[in-house]
Chain A
Amino acid sequence: DAKTTQPNSMESNEEEPVHLPCNHSTISGTDYIHWYRQLPSQGPEYVIHGLTSNVNNRMASLAIAEDRKSSTLILHRATLRDAAVYYCILRSFGANSKLTFGKGITLSVRP
């Protein structure tokens, strides 16, 4: 599986935007970029995914670089509930594709 690189941690202030970066320089043409997050004492939950174009949903936005070697998860207004570990994952398009998690980035939100 192609690998992603994320900073270990990031801090933000409540109600401010947060940009979580991810590098994936070895991404292949059939890899989708997925983001999951894991709140304390819970299983991971899906946030967003994309292939080439930027994507928006009710939780976040995903900005994908033109060469697809990096992406940024954008939380438009951080809340205390957004404090979690965020995982950037490349998932190959295929019937049996699984998610391979790294260590993720730990986001702390200051009140």
Chain B
Amino acid sequence: DTGVSQNPRHKITKRGQNVTFRCDPISEHNRLYWYRQTLGQGPEFLTYFQNEAQLEKSRLLSDRFSAERPKGSFSTLEIQRTEQGDSAMYLCASSSDSATGELFFGEGSRLTVL
């Protein structure tokens, strides 16, 4: 297993366009998390899945953001009508069902909105 994989690694888009990021977690992990990180800040929690169920969403996740995990495996994060303030690194992580299980992070997808 190669760990958590995220694609694309970099995305440059114009304001108003839609973008989609994909995350492939470690295969046996049931839990999947999305975070956003801007320069100089720690990662901010966006949303969390247990298998295919989206169990928690941050208030940061406006109605322009939607995340799915249709078969409990890979996940997508879509941002509609992007704004310059959406420019950030989008990080995905997965973990086992253990309540204290460590999170394994991908290398992130960097979004630049022009």
Show the binding face of A for B, using Cβ within 8 Å.
Answer: 32, 34, 36, 41-46, 49, 85, 87, 91, 93-104
CB neighbours of A99 from chain B (8 A)? 33, 43, 45, 103
* In the complex with contacts A96-B55, A98-B48, A44-B100 CB distance below 8 A: no
CB <8 Å contact, B33 and A98? yes
CB <8 Å contact, B105 and A45? yes
Complex CA distance for A49 and B107, rounded to whole angstroms:
22
For chain B, which range describes its interface: under 10, 10 to 19, 20 to 34, or 35 or more residues? 20 to 34
Complex CA distance for A85 and B102, rounded to whole angstroms:
17
Residue of B nearest to A100 (CB): B45
Complex CA distance for A91 and B105, rounded to whole angstroms:
17
A-B CB contacts (within 8 Å), total count:
57
Complex CA distance for A43 and B4, rounded to whole angstroms:
10
CB neighbours of B93 from chain A (8 A)? 43-44
Taking the nearest CB of chain A, how far is it from the CB of B113, in angstroms?
Answer: 20
Residue of A nearest to B35 (CB): A101
CB neighbours of B85 from chain A (8 A)? none
Taking the nearest CB of chain B, how far is it from the CB of A78, in angstroms?
Answer: 22
CB <8 Å contact, A32 and B45? no
B83-109 interface code vs A (CB 8 A; 1 in, 0 out): 000000001010001011011111110
* In the complex with contacts A87-B42, A96-B55, A98-B45, A49-B106 CB distance below 8 A: no
CB neighbours of A97 from chain B (8 A)? 99
CB neighbours of A32 from chain B (8 A)? 100
CB neighbours of A96 from chain B (8 A)? 48, 50, 55-56
